[in-house]
Amino acid sequence: MENKFDILVIGAGPGGYIAAIRAAQLGKKVACVDMWTDDAGKPKPGGTCTNVGCIPSKALLQSSEHFEQANHHFAEHGISVSDVKMDVTKMISRKETVVKQNNEGILFLFKKNKVSFFSGKASFAEKSDAGFKVKVEGKDAAEITAEIVIVATGSDPRPLPNLPFDEKSILSNTGALDIPEVPKKLGIIGAGVIGLELGSVWRRLGADVTILEAAPAFLTAADEAIAKEAKKAFDKQGLKIEVGVKITEAKNDGKSVKIAYDTAGGEKQELTVDKLIVSIGRIPFTSGLNLEAVGVKLDDRGFIEVDENCRTSVQNIWAIGDVVRGPMLAHKAEEEGVAVAERIAGMHAHVDFGTIPSVIYTSPEIAWVGKTEKQLKEEGRKVKSGQFPFMANGRARAMGDITGFAKIIADAETDEVLGGHIIGPMASELISELVTIMEFKGAAEDIARICHAHPTLSEAIKEAALAVDKRTLNL
C-alpha cells in the first residue's frame, strides 16, 4: 500500500482523533499516527485524556463517590449497610476497562470513517515536492508522505525541580491513577483540577490528604464566591489545603517522601507522606518530532508557535491542543481539531476561548464559563449579578445534595451574560446552558424567560438569571 495522504495527524488524543475524523468526513484521505500502547504493545489511542487523564479519573471519582455514599449517606435514605469495604484492585481494574472501551471506540471510529491508523512514534524526515515525509517507528513502522500535517501531540506532566517522577512514591497524574492500596498519608503539590480530583478520590477511600498550593489564594481561576464556597466544602470533608506555600526541599527515600516548605506566614513546616502527587501544570510534548527538519518554530515556553487559526510557521503544517497556546483542556483540543479540518477544506470555522467551559469533577462539582466578577470589574465593566442556592432547589433537596449555588454575571446595561459560575450537583452538565447563551450573546432575561422543567437542577440556572434582575421566585 502506498502511504500517501492528503492529511496526516500526529497524535490520537481528543484533538488529533477528532481532527482526523472530521477531515475524513470532508472527503480527505487521512492517516493518524499515535504512540500510546499497552504493556502488550496494543494501540491505545485517546492520548492523555483517555488513558491517564479525563476518563480514568472520572471512573475513580465515580467508584469513590459510591463508597462515600454507602459509608456516610445511605442511612439518610433508609438504607442500612455495614462493613463496607473497597477492593482497590477491582476499582483500578474497572477503571482500566473503561479506558479500554474508549480506546476501542476510537479505533472503531477510525475504521468507520476510513482513517488509516498507524501505531508508532512519528517524526518529520523532510519537506518534499509532494508535501512532508514522516517516519513512523514502532508496530506499524512506515514512511508516510502527506500534503498537510496536523500536530496534536499533547502535553506531559511538569515535575518538581530535582524530584523526578518514579510513579511509585513521586506520582504524576499517571501514577496517581494506579496506586495499588490506599495510602495512610498522601501529599499533593498543586490545588488545581488534578490535585483536587485525585485528592478527593483517595480522601474518600480513607487517606489523610494534604494539598499544598503555591498561589496566595485558593482556586484563583474561579470566581471568588465559588472558590470560597469550595474551600468551605473541602474543609468540611477533611481535605487539608494550604495556600501561599513555598516548597524548599523534597526528599524521596523510597519508603516515604519528606517535603519541607514555608507557609504563607513564613513559618517553616515539614510534611512526611507515603505518596506524593505532583500536579503543578503540564508542558507541551514535542520530543522526538524532529520539528527542526521542516522548520517549525517553538515559542520561549516550548509550545509550537501558531496564529489565531492554528497555522504554524510552516505552510501546510498546523498544530492544535495542548501543544499550542490556550487552555490545556480536552474539549478545547476537540474544537480546534474540527476547526482546522474545516479550514483546510476551505470552510469558515472559529473557536472562541471566551466560551470554553472549565470543570472540576469533585463533590461538589465546580464549573464556570466566561469571566469572573473580579476580572470584569478590573476591566471597568459595569456588571450586575445574581445567585441562587441549591438548598432552595426542589430536585437538589430530593437528591440530598444541596451544597453550592449558581451565579450569573451580566452587563449592567445590555444584560448580556458575561460569565456563569456553578458549584453544586451536576455543575458539569448545567454549565452547557450558560455556554450556549453566551455563544449566542444572549441575556440573563433570555434564560429567565425560558421554561425549565420542574423539578430539575437546571431551575437553579433560571433562578440565578431572575436574581440578576432581583426577582427570584423561590428564594
Residues annotated in a binding site for NAD(+): 190-197, 213, 281
Helical axes 54-72 vs 193-204, angle rounded to 10°: 40
**What residue ranges in 323-444 does DSSP mark as E strands?**
358-360, 365-370, 383-389, 405-411, 417-424
Catalytic residue status for 348 = no
Q: If we measure between CA atoms, which residue out of 200, 188, 186, 204 comes closest to residue 256?
A: 186
* 242 conformational bin, left if phi > 0, alpha if psi -120 to 50, beta if neither: beta
Pick from 356, 353, 367: nearest CA to 331: 356
Instruction: For the chain, give the number of residues.
Output: 475
What cell numbers appear for 442 in the block? Answer: 444572549
> CB count, 10 Å around CB of 259?
23
Rg of the chain on CA atoms, in Å: 24
Binding positions for FAD: 58, 153-155, 322, 328-331
* Rounded distance between C-alpha atoms, residue 268 and residue 357, angstroms: 38
Q: How many CB atoms lie within 10 A of CB 135?
A: 18
Q: Are 209 and 239 in contact (CB under 8 A)?
A: yes
Marked catalytic residue, from 72, 73, 350, 454: 454
Between strands 116-119 and 30-34, the pairing is parallel
- Rounded CA separation 32/15 (Å): 11
Query: CA 311, CA 319: separation in Å to the nearest integer?
Result: 7
Cα separation, 45 vs 293, whole angstroms? 26
Residues annotated in the binding site, as ranges?
58, 153-155, 190-197, 213, 281, 322, 328-331
Cis peptide, bond prior to residue 364, ω within 30 of zero: yes
Q: If you search the block for the grid coordinates 483536587, which residue do you land on?
A: 196
Give the active site residues. 454
